[in-house]
Homo-oligomer: A and B are copies of this chain.
Amino acid sequence: MSSVDKIDLKIIEMLAADSRRSLADIGNSVDLAPSSVNERIRRLVASGVIRRFTVEVDPAALDRATQIYVWVALREDADEGAFREFAGTDPRIEECHHVTGAWSYLIKLRLKDVSAVEEFLSDLKSANFLGRSETVLALSSPVEAGVIPKGA
């Protein structure tokens, strides 16, 4: 079994904080030789526990400083498969969840500014997805992660 033990967890934590740390450096913290740390990381990646090495970027630098949530009820006749496809492709959509409650989907957007919301909604509408929707703006975010551009 691929268990992810205490040491793996510590390694993951260190990599999450700074994935450029050297194997020797990490090895020091977990009391393992560099080659052993390497082997563990290799296994974590191979088993899919670590999905990818990446960078976290300042949203403002990418013109995506504005965070917006949109509750969506799809049209009765909407092609739900096509909608999911659209959601996965559109770079403005950071998250999209099928949710409990009165609405069917919750979409999280990252946009340049609030004026871009209108364009997004009109895109949804012209693709015949949109029944009703409700938009919520994030005014400030005590806890927020940076952006990580979607994989190609």
Contact = CB atoms under 8 A, between A and B. Distances in A.
A3 to B, nearest CB: 10
Q: State how many copies of this chain the complex holds.
A: 2
Contact of A53 (B13, B53, B84): B53
Interface string A55-84: 111100110000101000000000000001
A58 B143 CA distance: 21
A93 interface: yes
18 contacts: A12-B55, A12-B57, A12-B149, A13-B149, A16-B54, A16-B57, A17-B152, A48-B58, A51-B57, A51-B146, A53-B54, A54-B54, A87-B143, A88-B143, A96-B142, A97-B138, A97-B139, A98-B139
